[in-house]
A and B are shown apart, each in its own frame.
Chain A
């Protein structure tokens, strides 16, 4: 049981490049979300999804795209990376049907944009 798997763990990009951060879960959780963690800012919600085909914006969505074609995967796309997107990104999931209200986090992806 892998839980929440994020890839890659580390990535360095140049300004203007595009990339996708992957998030996969094997817990059949309906809810999936992306956060970014910055010093002094805590965790801020980027996008989230409550099921395949359904996504919505969080607190800081600009510069990021998401899609949810399957229950298991929730990729985060940066179409044109900017230095302000240098951060640690976390995927978090939750079961909506169990009522547990507890998020399960991946190990994180550290992104540096030069």
Chain B
């Protein structure tokens, strides 16, 4: 079965330091991987995705993610954290079982990022 794991409920980092939010996945076939961010009382916003190609993917707000096939990971990174990056981050994978043209997205449980001033 397809699945996504975010092993950390919360990550604390000082402003200006690099940040990493971890994600591992289990899929059959080539994965479509995504990161979304949720600010308080808002819906999820797309940050970046990996479909194919370069293993380092760059996205919105200075975030990037590295796809590692051997470790089945897709960690979210940023070189220098901002207080405004504090939010809830979700990793997701597209379920590649295509039946009659339908498909689903599977989300991790989320990691709360707290950037301390």
A residues at B contact (CB < 8 Å): 4, 33, 35, 40-45, 48, 50, 56, 58-59, 90, 92, 96, 101-108
- Please provide the chain B residues from 14 to 35 with a CB less than 8 Å away from any CB of chain A in the complex: 32, 34
Assembly CA distance A44 to B102 (angstroms): 17
A56–B43 alpha-carbon span in the complex (Å): 23
Which of B62-70, B79-87, B105-113 touches A? B105-113
Q: Which residue in chain A gives the minimum CB-CB distance to B4?
A: A42
Count residues of B near A (Cβ-Cβ below 8 Å).
24
Q: Is the CB of B90 within 8 A of A43?
A: yes
Please judge, given known A-B contacts A48-B102, A50-B101, whether A102 and B108 are in contact too, CB under 8 Å. no
Q: Do B108 and A42 touch across chains, with their CB atoms under 8 A apart?
A: yes
Bound-complex Cα distance A105 to B23 (A): 21
Q: Complex: how many Å from CA A92 to CA B102?
A: 15
- How far apart are A95's CB and chain B's nearest CB, in angstroms? 13
Which of the residues A33, A50, A90 comes within 8 Å of B44, measured between beta carbons?
A90
B105 & A50 in contact (Cβ 8 Å cutoff): no
In the complex the two chains form, is B43's CB within 8 Å of A108's CB? Answer: yes
A107-B42 CB under 8 A given contacts A42-B108, A102-B49:
yes
List residues 75-117 of chain B with CB under 8 A from any CB of chain A: 90, 94, 101-102, 104-110
In the bound assembly, the distance between CA atoms of A74 and B32 in angstroms comes to 25
Q: Is the CB of B105 within 8 A of A108?
A: no
A59 to B106, CA, bound (A): 9
Q: Is the CB of A101 within 8 A of B94?
A: yes
Besides A43-B107, A102-B34, 6 other A-B contacts (C-beta < 8 A): A41-B109, A42-B108, A101-B34, A103-B36, A103-B44, A105-B43
B56 within 8 A of A: no
User: Is A42 in contact with B104, judged by CB distance below 8 angstroms?
Assistant: no
Query: Would A42 and B90 count as touching, CB distance under 8 A?
Result: yes
**B6, B32, B41, B43: the one within 8 Å of A90 (CB):** B43
